[in-house]
Amino acid sequence: MMQSDTAGDRYQRYGLIDWFDCNRLRQARIVVVGAGAVGNEVLKNLTLLGVGHIRIFDFDTIEPHNLPRSVLFRDTDIDRYKADVAAAACRRLDPGVDILPVNADFWQALTLEQIAESDAVVCCADNYEARTGLNQLCLMARTDFYNTGIDSRYSSVEMFPFATRAASACYECTLPPSVYTAMQKRYSCGRLRKVSYEEKKVPTTPITSSLAGAVVASMLLHRLNGHAQAQQEAVRQFHDSISLASTVSVIQRQDNCPGCATIDPSAVRLTAKRSCTPHAGLPSACAAGVEVVLSEPVLLGGTCTRCGRRQDYFASVRQVNDAVTFCPVCQAQSVVTEFVERLSLDEFEATFAGRDVPCKFITCHTGNRQVVVEMEI
């Protein structure tokens, strides 16, 4: 049983449960992405269960509409960062919790090393891009990935045991083509995010968020404790909060999955400085004729078809939008953009010579081995 951290042992009743290992939970490291409605429930549950180390990633601030669905937020918290407020509330629940809020996009601030050192990553974000991105990173780091989703009636929780099942299905194995079509609606034909695009908001309630938060915390609790009946395969738990129907289904791996097909769970992971130096930290064996694949398209620049004005960017498509196609001289949307995503190693070095590589990671293959090089933050 864990040592007391208050006058009385706050977790002594958990110690009466024969399979409950308080020390294991106190040592656990969990990453939670998204501190909104579901994130509040997950963070509250993990803290009350005695999980010792939690990182929260969320770049958003609290708005009035968040309050009815978020147990950790108050009226006085409006306009403050969600991660900061949630972390402070969790410390009030358990002063002994080591909880670190990060007010940033996880894609920019969460490293593969941090994921690999964690027991699990829980996605409480409300968009497919965040989910597919986290799925990709957890596959590479071989860390268990949990995904949550809710609306006003249904809650869904998925668990992908990448740490123990190298051939596990992944999150993208579950996605129909319509999801990728929906994601593309946010972008122009030039792969730039549309400034004018307004994503449809999905209404939710504290009922569905609490259901999702309870289920994901339960899955984590029992896997961390090594419970004999804990789920070992990729599964989805689906609950209808009105009819009370609930199902658990095993998720099958899809051979043509865009996630599994591009990531080798046994890949070699390296890190390199963003400044482009010869081979950017790649093994020398990769130097001859290797193709380098960037984690996201990079906008090199744009040229106005009317006046010929050229503007260099060398920026990830995550950092720009379709406003770059507007020429300030001609006052028209007349700029043709130039992107790069796949190139030879020599082209890679020539393109980014003297510049920072503006993507999260690059991958290449040498023989039958995949190499992943993460750009240092």
Last residue of one domain, picked from the residues 191, 217, 250: 250
Which whole number is the average pLDDT over 91-99?
A: 96
| Mean of all residue pLDDT scores within the chain | 91
**Residue 263 placed within a domain:** no
What pLDDT does residue 365 have?
83
Last residue of one domain, picked from the residues 200, 215, 250: 250
Residue 274 confidence class, pLDDT cut points 50, 70, 90: confident
Which of 190 and 33 is assigned the larger pLDDT? Answer: 33
pLDDT above 90 coverage of the chain, percent? 75
Encoded amino acid at 306, one letter:
R
Domain that holds residue 371: 268-375
Structure tokens, 58: 């969320």
pTM: 0.92
Chain center to CA of 346: 31
**Residue 148: phi, psi to the nearest 5?**
-125, 150
pLDDT surpassing 70 at residue 286: no
Judgement on whether residues 129 and 221 belong to the same structural domain of the protein: yes
Judgement on whether residues 244 and 275 belong to the same structural domain of the protein: no
Cα(45)–Cα(41) distance, integer angstroms:
6
Per the structure, the count of domains in the chain is 2
Judgement on whether residues 235 and 294 belong to the same structural domain of the protein: no
Helix (H) or strand (E) holding 338: strand 335-344
Residue 13 confidence class, pLDDT cut points 50, 70, 90: very high
Cα(73)–Cα(66) distance, integer angstroms:
8
pLDDT surpassing 60 at residue 46: yes
Annotate 275-328 with three-state secondary structure: EECHHHHCCHHHCCCCEEEEEEEEEEEEEECCCCCEEEEEEECCCCEHHHHCEC
**Residue 262 placed within a domain:** no
Judgement on whether residues 219 and 348 belong to the same structural domain of the protein: no
What pLDDT does residue 275 have?
80
Cα(27)–Cα(329) distance, integer angstroms:
58
Judgement on whether residues 36 and 175 belong to the same structural domain of the protein: yes
What pLDDT does residue 263 have?
85
**Residue 276 placed within a domain:** yes
**Residue 5 placed within a domain:** no
Closest to 376 (Cα-Cα) out of 254, 226, 274: 274
Judgement on whether residues 50 and 186 belong to the same structural domain of the protein: yes
The string of pLDDT tens digits covering residues 145-200 is 999 999 999 999 999 999 999 889 999 999 998 888 888 877 776 678 887 666 77
Cα(142)–Cα(145) distance, integer angstroms:
9
What pLDDT does residue 236 have?
97
Judgement on whether residues 207 and 292 belong to the same structural domain of the protein: no
Q: Name all contacts of 347-352 with Cβ < 8 Å and 24+ positions apart.
A: 347/292, 348/276, 348/280, 348/292, 349/276, 349/278, 349/279, 349/280, 351/300, 352/276, 352/314
Structure tokens, 152: 């006003």
Which whole number is the average pLDDT over 257-270?
A: 87
The string of pLDDT tens digits covering residues 323-375 is 999 999 999 999 999 999 999 988 998 999 889 999 999 999 887 888 999 99
What pLDDT does residue 3 have?
42
Judgement on whether residues 224 and 171 belong to the same structural domain of the protein: yes
Q: Name all contacts of 65-68 with Cβ < 8 Å and 24+ positions apart.
A: 66/36, 66/37, 68/206
Question: Coil, strand, or helix at residue 221?
Answer: helix
Structure tokens, 78: 């409006």
pLDDT above 70 coverage of the chain, percent? 93
Residue 4 confidence class, pLDDT cut points 50, 70, 90: very low
Task: Name the CA radius of gyration of the chain, rounded.
Answer: 22
Judgement on whether residues 242 and 296 belong to the same structural domain of the protein: no
Which whole number is the average pLDDT over 97-124?
A: 97
pLDDT surpassing 90 at residue 229: yes
Judgement on whether residues 276 and 315 belong to the same structural domain of the protein: yes
